Amino acid sequence: MLNIIKVNNEQQFNETGASLIASLLQINPRANLGLATGSTPVGVYKRLIELYNEGLVSFKDAQSYNLDEYIGLPDNHPESYRRFMNEKLFDHIDIQKQNTHVPSGNAENLEQAADDYNRLLEDAGLIDLQLLGLGHNGHIGFNEPAEELQGPTHIVTLDEVTRNANARFFNSIDEVPTHAITMGIGSILKAKQILLMAKGADKAEILATALKGPLTTKCPASFLQTHANVVVLVDQAAGRLL
Protein backbone atom coordinates (compact mmCIF):
# COMPACT_ATOMS: atom_id res chain seq x y z
CA MET A 1 0.00 0.00 0.00
CA LEU A 2 1.30 3.44 -0.98
CA ASN A 3 0.60 6.48 1.18
CA ILE A 4 1.52 9.64 -0.67
CA ILE A 5 2.48 12.77 1.26
CA LYS A 6 2.81 15.82 -0.99
CA VAL A 7 4.47 18.79 0.66
CA ASN A 8 4.76 22.42 -0.43
CA ASN A 9 8.37 23.24 0.20
CA GLU A 10 11.80 22.01 1.19
CA GLN A 11 11.26 22.76 4.85
CA GLN A 12 8.09 20.66 5.03
CA PHE A 13 9.83 17.89 3.11
CA ASN A 14 12.69 17.73 5.59
CA GLU A 15 10.42 18.12 8.59
CA THR A 16 8.10 15.32 7.46
CA GLY A 17 10.93 12.89 6.68
CA ALA A 18 12.76 13.65 9.92
CA SER A 19 9.59 13.37 12.03
CA LEU A 20 8.86 9.91 10.65
CA ILE A 21 12.32 8.71 11.65
CA ALA A 22 12.29 10.51 15.00
CA SER A 23 8.88 9.17 15.99
CA LEU A 24 9.99 5.63 15.14
CA LEU A 25 13.00 6.06 17.43
CA GLN A 26 10.84 7.53 20.20
CA ILE A 27 8.65 4.42 20.09
CA ASN A 28 11.48 1.97 19.42
CA PRO A 29 14.90 3.34 20.46
CA ARG A 30 16.56 0.12 19.23
CA ALA A 31 15.14 0.46 15.71
CA ASN A 32 16.98 -0.81 12.65
CA LEU A 33 17.20 2.10 10.23
CA GLY A 34 17.84 1.51 6.55
CA LEU A 35 19.61 4.61 5.23
CA ALA A 36 20.24 6.12 1.81
CA THR A 37 22.74 8.62 0.43
CA GLY A 38 22.34 10.96 -2.56
CA SER A 39 21.09 14.52 -2.47
CA THR A 40 17.45 13.81 -1.57
CA PRO A 41 17.83 12.85 2.12
CA VAL A 42 20.48 15.46 3.00
CA GLY A 43 17.98 18.03 4.34
CA VAL A 44 16.15 15.29 6.26
CA TYR A 45 19.43 14.31 7.94
CA LYS A 46 20.10 17.99 8.75
CA ARG A 47 16.70 18.29 10.41
CA LEU A 48 17.33 15.06 12.34
CA ILE A 49 20.57 16.53 13.68
CA GLU A 50 18.58 19.58 14.86
CA LEU A 51 16.03 17.34 16.57
CA TYR A 52 18.89 15.49 18.24
CA ASN A 53 20.44 18.79 19.40
CA GLU A 54 17.06 19.84 20.78
CA GLY A 55 16.98 16.62 22.81
CA LEU A 56 13.96 15.29 20.92
CA VAL A 57 15.56 12.15 19.52
CA SER A 58 18.42 9.82 20.39
CA PHE A 59 20.14 7.26 18.20
CA LYS A 60 22.26 5.72 20.92
CA ASP A 61 20.59 2.31 20.78
CA ALA A 62 19.72 2.35 17.08
CA GLN A 63 21.41 0.37 14.33
CA SER A 64 21.79 1.64 10.78
CA TYR A 65 22.24 -0.24 7.53
CA ASN A 66 23.07 1.67 4.36
CA LEU A 67 21.80 0.61 0.99
CA ASP A 68 24.93 0.77 -1.06
CA GLU A 69 28.52 1.85 -1.64
CA TYR A 70 30.72 2.53 -4.64
CA ILE A 71 33.38 -0.03 -5.43
CA GLY A 72 36.97 1.08 -5.38
CA LEU A 73 36.74 4.32 -3.41
CA PRO A 74 38.65 4.36 -0.14
CA ASP A 75 36.42 4.96 2.94
CA ASN A 76 37.83 8.47 3.34
CA HIS A 77 37.28 9.45 -0.33
CA PRO A 78 35.06 12.57 -0.37
CA GLU A 79 32.41 10.69 -2.39
CA SER A 80 32.45 7.37 -0.56
CA TYR A 81 29.07 6.68 0.99
CA ARG A 82 30.72 5.81 4.31
CA ARG A 83 32.23 9.29 4.41
CA PHE A 84 28.95 10.87 3.23
CA MET A 85 27.07 9.22 6.09
CA ASN A 86 29.68 10.22 8.67
CA GLU A 87 29.69 13.83 7.50
CA LYS A 88 25.97 14.28 6.85
CA LEU A 89 24.66 12.44 9.90
CA PHE A 90 26.67 10.05 12.07
CA ASP A 91 29.34 12.53 13.26
CA HIS A 92 26.64 14.86 14.58
CA ILE A 93 24.40 12.48 16.54
CA ASP A 94 24.83 9.95 19.33
CA ILE A 95 24.69 6.81 17.20
CA GLN A 96 27.48 4.38 18.10
CA LYS A 97 29.79 4.11 15.11
CA GLN A 98 30.02 0.33 15.50
CA ASN A 99 26.25 0.23 15.03
CA THR A 100 26.46 1.94 11.63
CA HIS A 101 26.83 -0.41 8.69
CA VAL A 102 27.71 0.47 5.11
CA PRO A 103 28.53 -2.29 2.60
CA SER A 104 32.26 -2.55 1.93
CA GLY A 105 33.29 -1.38 -1.52
CA ASN A 106 36.99 -2.03 -0.92
CA ALA A 107 37.09 -5.62 0.21
CA GLU A 108 39.60 -7.83 -1.58
CA ASN A 109 36.83 -10.36 -2.11
CA LEU A 110 33.75 -8.39 -3.06
CA GLU A 111 31.48 -11.42 -3.45
CA GLN A 112 32.39 -12.34 0.10
CA ALA A 113 31.67 -8.76 1.23
CA ALA A 114 28.20 -9.00 -0.34
CA ASP A 115 27.56 -12.34 1.39
CA ASP A 116 28.79 -10.88 4.69
CA TYR A 117 26.41 -7.94 4.34
CA ASN A 118 23.53 -10.32 3.69
CA ARG A 119 24.38 -12.29 6.78
CA LEU A 120 24.56 -9.07 8.77
CA LEU A 121 21.09 -8.09 7.54
CA GLU A 122 19.69 -11.52 8.32
CA ASP A 123 21.14 -11.45 11.83
CA ALA A 124 19.77 -7.95 12.39
CA GLY A 125 16.17 -9.05 11.93
CA LEU A 126 13.96 -6.77 9.91
CA ILE A 127 14.71 -3.18 8.98
CA ASP A 128 12.05 -1.07 10.69
CA LEU A 129 12.20 1.84 8.27
CA GLN A 130 14.03 1.84 4.94
CA LEU A 131 14.77 5.23 3.36
CA LEU A 132 14.99 5.34 -0.42
CA GLY A 133 15.72 7.93 -3.07
CA LEU A 134 14.78 7.31 -6.68
CA GLY A 135 17.15 7.21 -9.65
CA HIS A 136 16.17 8.84 -12.95
CA ASN A 137 16.11 5.36 -14.47
CA GLY A 138 13.90 3.93 -11.71
CA HIS A 139 16.70 2.46 -9.63
CA ILE A 140 16.41 2.03 -5.88
CA GLY A 141 19.63 1.42 -4.04
CA PHE A 142 21.84 0.63 -7.02
CA ASN A 143 19.40 -1.92 -8.43
CA GLU A 144 19.59 -0.78 -12.03
CA PRO A 145 17.02 -1.60 -14.74
CA ALA A 146 17.83 -5.04 -16.15
CA GLU A 147 16.35 -8.23 -17.55
CA GLU A 148 16.53 -9.76 -14.08
CA LEU A 149 16.80 -8.30 -10.60
CA GLN A 150 18.64 -9.84 -7.68
CA GLY A 151 17.20 -10.30 -4.21
CA PRO A 152 20.18 -10.12 -1.86
CA THR A 153 23.15 -7.75 -1.63
CA HIS A 154 25.27 -8.05 -4.75
CA ILE A 155 27.76 -6.34 -7.03
CA VAL A 156 26.37 -4.26 -9.89
CA THR A 157 27.65 -2.47 -12.95
CA LEU A 158 26.37 1.07 -12.75
CA ASP A 159 24.13 2.28 -15.54
CA GLU A 160 25.46 5.14 -17.66
CA VAL A 161 22.37 7.17 -16.59
CA THR A 162 23.45 6.74 -12.96
CA ARG A 163 27.13 7.53 -13.64
CA ASN A 164 26.12 10.68 -15.53
CA ALA A 165 23.70 11.75 -12.78
CA ASN A 166 26.37 11.27 -10.12
CA ALA A 167 29.17 12.88 -12.14
CA ARG A 168 28.11 16.20 -10.58
CA PHE A 169 29.79 15.08 -7.35
CA PHE A 170 33.13 14.18 -9.04
CA ASN A 171 35.66 16.20 -11.05
CA SER A 172 34.74 14.32 -14.21
CA ILE A 173 32.66 11.37 -15.39
CA ASP A 174 35.87 9.29 -15.65
CA GLU A 175 36.23 9.43 -11.88
CA VAL A 176 32.75 8.01 -11.22
CA PRO A 177 33.11 4.36 -10.24
CA THR A 178 31.77 1.82 -12.72
CA HIS A 179 30.60 -0.67 -10.09
CA ALA A 180 28.87 -0.68 -6.75
CA ILE A 181 27.68 -3.03 -4.04
CA THR A 182 24.01 -2.74 -3.19
CA MET A 183 21.28 -4.32 -1.14
CA GLY A 184 19.06 -6.22 -3.54
CA ILE A 185 15.38 -5.71 -4.19
CA GLY A 186 14.59 -8.64 -1.90
CA SER A 187 16.42 -7.10 1.04
CA ILE A 188 14.76 -3.74 0.45
CA LEU A 189 11.26 -5.19 0.24
CA LYS A 190 11.71 -7.06 3.53
CA ALA A 191 11.67 -3.78 5.47
CA LYS A 192 8.63 -3.27 7.68
CA GLN A 193 8.09 0.23 6.33
CA ILE A 194 9.64 2.09 3.40
CA LEU A 195 10.01 5.84 2.99
CA LEU A 196 10.51 6.69 -0.69
CA MET A 197 11.56 10.31 -1.15
CA ALA A 198 11.62 12.29 -4.38
CA LYS A 199 12.07 15.99 -5.08
CA GLY A 200 12.07 18.08 -8.22
CA ALA A 201 10.44 18.07 -11.65
CA ASP A 202 13.08 15.74 -13.09
CA LYS A 203 11.73 12.90 -10.91
CA ALA A 204 8.03 13.36 -11.80
CA GLU A 205 7.86 11.00 -14.78
CA ILE A 206 9.90 8.17 -13.36
CA LEU A 207 8.03 8.40 -10.07
CA ALA A 208 4.67 8.06 -11.82
CA THR A 209 6.00 5.19 -13.94
CA ALA A 210 7.27 3.43 -10.83
CA LEU A 211 4.13 3.85 -8.78
CA LYS A 212 1.41 3.64 -11.44
CA GLY A 213 3.02 1.66 -14.27
CA PRO A 214 3.42 -2.10 -14.66
CA LEU A 215 5.71 -4.12 -12.41
CA THR A 216 8.86 -4.53 -14.44
CA THR A 217 12.55 -5.17 -13.88
CA LYS A 218 13.06 -2.27 -16.32
CA CYS A 219 11.90 -0.01 -13.49
CA PRO A 220 13.10 -1.61 -10.24
CA ALA A 221 11.17 0.88 -8.08
CA SER A 222 7.91 -0.49 -9.57
CA PHE A 223 8.23 -3.44 -7.14
CA LEU A 224 7.50 -1.03 -4.30
CA GLN A 225 3.86 -1.38 -5.42
CA THR A 226 3.92 -4.88 -3.92
CA HIS A 227 4.95 -3.70 -0.45
CA ALA A 228 2.39 -3.40 2.33
CA ASN A 229 3.62 -0.14 3.83
CA VAL A 230 5.30 2.50 1.66
CA VAL A 231 5.21 6.20 2.47
CA VAL A 232 6.00 8.30 -0.59
CA LEU A 233 7.25 11.75 0.36
CA VAL A 234 7.28 14.18 -2.55
CA ASP A 235 7.32 17.86 -3.28
CA GLN A 236 4.76 19.34 -5.67
CA ALA A 237 7.12 19.11 -8.66
CA ALA A 238 8.01 15.44 -8.22
CA GLY A 239 4.43 14.52 -7.32
CA ARG A 240 2.86 16.33 -10.29
CA LEU A 241 1.84 13.14 -12.15
CA LEU A 242 0.66 11.10 -9.17
Least distance (Å) between residue 69 CB and ligand F6R:
8
Q: Which of the following is catalytic: 66, 68, 118, 166?
A: 68
Those residues with Cβ within 8 angstroms of residue 175's Cβ, 6 or more apart along the chain or in another chain: none
**Is 68 in the active site?**
yes
| Site residues (CB under 6 A) for ligand F6R, limited to 97-156 | 133-135, 139-142
CA dihedral sign, ordered 170, 171, 173, 177: negative
Using Cβ positions, the residue closest to ligand F6R within the complex turns out to be: 133
Q: Which is nearer to ligand F6R, 56 or 146 (CB)?
A: 146
Listed residue (206, 180, 234, 198) closest to 69, CA to CA: 180
Active site residue 144: yes
Interface with ligand F6R (CB under 6 A), residue from 40, 100, 104, 222:
40
Q: Which of 38, 43, 103, 138 binds ligand F6R (CB under 6 A)?
A: 38
3-class DSSP assignment, residue 191: coil
CB of 26 to ligand F6R, least distance (A): 25
Query: Least distance (Å) from ligand F6R to the CB of residue 27?
Result: 25
Confirm or reject binding of residue 184 to ligand F6R (CB under 6 A). no
Question: Active site residue: 14, 66, 101, 139, which one?
Answer: 139
E runs forming strands in 135-229: 154-157, 179-182, 193-198
> Could you please report the per-residue DSSP string of 33-100?
EEE--SSTTHHHHHHHHHHHHTTS---TT-EEEESEEESS--TTSTT-HHHHHHHHTGGGS---GGGE
Positions marked catalytic: 68, 137, 139, 144
Residues that bind ligand F6R (CB under 6 A): 36-40, 67-68, 133-135, 139-142
